[in-house]
Amino acid sequence: MKIKTLVLFIILLLTVFSCNKKNEDDVTIRKVLGIRKIALEEGDFIKYKSIISDDYFDKKKNENKDRVLNKFKGIIANTIDRKLNFSDITIYFDKQDNSRATVVEKIYLEVVMKNGKKKYLKSKEKIDLIKDNEGWKIAGGL
């Protein structure tokens, strides 16, 4: 009877620890999304670069980190105002590799071009993230 109680206690303890770790990672990933929003709205290349993994690669678009950063520079160079909002954010953690996660979210982007014309994008996106020694970073999907 004592062994059964001890085993149940250990399982409960491991479950609580695992949930706390996921909650911590969830908060950190949401902070990365917030940094992305601020970087885009403020046109801050250094801030944006800080959340993009060196291992970034998007298979669908055949884009690496350099190409994504150049796209960001292009957006900043061709616009005078940018607003980015997210909703319905869901974070899926890889069950086999706790250093990987995927975010699925709805985005709404509004930009004002240099000529004064407004453009809008309303979409659902899927972003891949990886956790390295510096923390969570975007590794694909932009």
**What CATH number is associated with residue 8?**
3.10.450.50
Confidence class for position 108, pLDDT limits 50, 70, 90: very high
- Put simply, whether the predicted model's pTM sits higher than 0.85 gets the answer no
DSSP string, the chain: -HHHHHHHHHHHHHHHHHHHHHHHHHHHHHHHHHHHHHHHHHT-HHHHHHTB-TT-EETTTTEEHHHHHHHHHHHHHHEEEEEEEEEEEEEEE-SS-TTEEEEEEEEEEEEEETTS-EEEEEEEEEEEEEEETTEEEEEE--
The number of domains in the chain is 1
In which domain, by residue range, is 103 found?
2-140
Mean pLDDT over each residue of the chain, to the nearest integer: 89
Q: Give the model confidence (pLDDT) of 1-33 as tens digits.
A: 566 665 555 555 455 555 555 688 999 999 999
